[in-house]
Amino acid sequence: MQDLFAEDNANFEIAPGAWLLKGYAAAQASDLLVLIEQIAEQSPFRQHMTPGGHRMSSAQTGCGAASWVSDRRGYRYDRLDPETGQPWPAMPQACAELACTAAQAAGYPDFIPDVCLLNQYTTGSRMGLHQDKDEQDFSAPIVSVSLGAEMTFLFGGPLRNDKPSRWKLEHGDVVVWGGPSRLNFHGVAPLGKRASHPLTGAVRYNLTFRQAL
Ligand code: MD6
Ligand code: FE
């Protein structure tokens, strides 16, 4: 029998060791939005200052044992939220489980996230090409969950000038990323004027789970 949903749930190896799992988190997506709201009540979204003195166009918060922060001193993981002086909200069990099973599905059975970074994008927000290299151990993958309005993910190679491939990330999509492409450059193109989702309007959220400490 023909699988009518094959298109919605396809998996793509976007580079060696990096997988786009279409719709992998679709069933939990609306619950995740509620959890994001609860986390943001404790540790609000804020636009970090880069070491170069620019305000990031996306806003960030996080949960777990630490979260990623940036200021004029540089990028780092901090166990306390510098805005509140308090520890970050705990990582909800449901999030940790989703991240573990997605990592397993992509061939990373030993992933145990200690950090989840939350990104919030509005119209025009983007993230330039960068490497995720502030974590202690690059043998662990990163698990990234997209929610809300769709955005174009740019996936390059190990060198900044490697031409990136482009992938549409929609509500419920998961990218798992590790092994040979763990340090590849990547980013997201500006959130488009017409991009929107019934649950979030013109806003996209991205959760990235990391084994950072
Ligand atoms: C984003 N993501 O999707 C930005 N990093 O909003 C990332 O920077 C990212 O999605 C590492 C692995 C997966 C990601
Ligand atoms: Fe990244």
Q: What is the pLDDT of residues 33-90, one digit of tens each?
A: 999 999 999 999 999 999 999 999 999 999 999 999 999 999 999 999 999 999 999 9
Ligand 1 close to Cβ of residue 132 (< 6 A): yes
Calculate Rg over the CA atoms of the chain: 16
* Domain boundaries, given as residue ranges, for the chain: 11-42+56-204
Q: Tokens at residue 92, please?
A: 């909800």
Q: Hey, what's the torsion of the CAs at 111, 36, 10, 122, to 10 degrees?
A: -120
- Percent of the chain residues topping a pLDDT of 70: 96
Please, is 134 exposed, middle or buried when counting C-beta atoms within 10 Å of its C-beta (0-12, 13-18, 19+)? middle
Cα separation of 138 and 146, whole Å?
22
Ligand 1 close to Cβ of residue 60 (< 6 A): no
Residue 31, Cβ neighbours under 10 Å: how many? 14
The CATH class given to the 11-42+56-204 domain equals mainly beta
Q: CA 139 → CA 11, 134, 193, distances in Å? A: 22, 13, 37
From the CA of 130, give the closest atom in ligand 1.
Answer: 8
* Residue 158 DSSP SS3: coil
Ligand with minimal distance to 131 CA: 2
Q: Which residues contact 4 (CB under 8 A, 6 or more apart)?
A: none
Please report the pLDDT score of residue 109 as a whole number: 97
pLDDT at 3 over 60: no
Cβ atoms of 117 and 36 closer than 8 Å: no
Choose one of 183, 186, 209 to mutate for the ligand 1 pocket test, by most ligand atoms within 8 angstroms of C-beta. 186
Cα separation of 152 and 42, whole Å?
29
